[in-house]
Amino acid sequence: MREIVFDTETTGLSPANGDRLVEIGCVELVNRVETGRTFHAYFNPGRAMPSEAEAVHGLSDRFLADKPAFDELVEDLLDFIGESPLVAHNASFDFGFINHELGNCGRPTVCHSRMIDTLAIARQKFPGAKHSLDALCSRFGVDRSLRVKHGALIDAQLLAQVYVELTGGRQIGLGLGLVAETIVEETRVETPVLTAVTIRPPRPHAPSTEELERHSAFLAAMADPIWHRVESRG
């Protein structure tokens, strides 16, 4: 089963208020294993970047000035995501921006039936806990040391690991290979080497006459042994 885990960065919180998509990062999973295929792009939003948004993701007007508009890369994005389910954290936010940009290009929007929301899954599994991406990385031991600011691709890569843990898990760090590469190791059956075993004669365990005499003297020296009491009761 192929799934796409993705994240977006924007100029703000609402496309209805004129905010635009400025970055998208996508990670391909097949049978819940990363294949190594990704899609990543920056977009010129055609408007100024609010300082509040820039403080979150660090994408400035100067940096985005020479980046393509969304409609210039829309075909590449659609080819990558195909018809696969789309996984995001607080997915309605990301779907809202993608569909707004697709609508601006005159393209069909992505059906919400393809949406998988890891925030909703986390809230169901861990009610009352913190459900941010950072909190879930801490819960599942996902290394986020490279995440200085929000970034669409690195957040998608972190979310892919969190999503796997949320939906059944596989121990992180086992070094699972790509799903497309199956390594079958040859099992070698070798002829066993027979080792000669020397059978020793049984050791004598009967007490010697001296040991029996010492035992009798030991018993005779005991005052009021318990077996005398048992015998008297019988």
Binding-site residue ranges for substrate:
7, 9, 52, 57, 155
Catalytic-labelled residue, pool 40, 112, 150, 228: 150
Binding-site residues sit at 7, 9, 52, 57, 155
Q: Is 150 a catalytic residue?
A: yes
Binding-site residues for a divalent metal cation sit at 7, 9, 155
* DSSP character string of the chain: -EEEEEEEEESSS-GGGT--EEEEEEEEEETTEEEEEEEEEE---SSPPPHHHHHHH---HHHHTTSPPHHHHHHHHHHHHTT--EEETTHHHHHHHHHHHHHHTTPPPPPGGGEEEHHHHHHHHSTTS--SHHHHHHHHT---TT-SS--HHHHHHHHHHHHHHHTT---TTS----TT----PPPP-PPPPP---PPPPPPP-SPPHHHHHHHHHHHHT-SS-HHHHHHHH-
Residues with catalytic function = 150
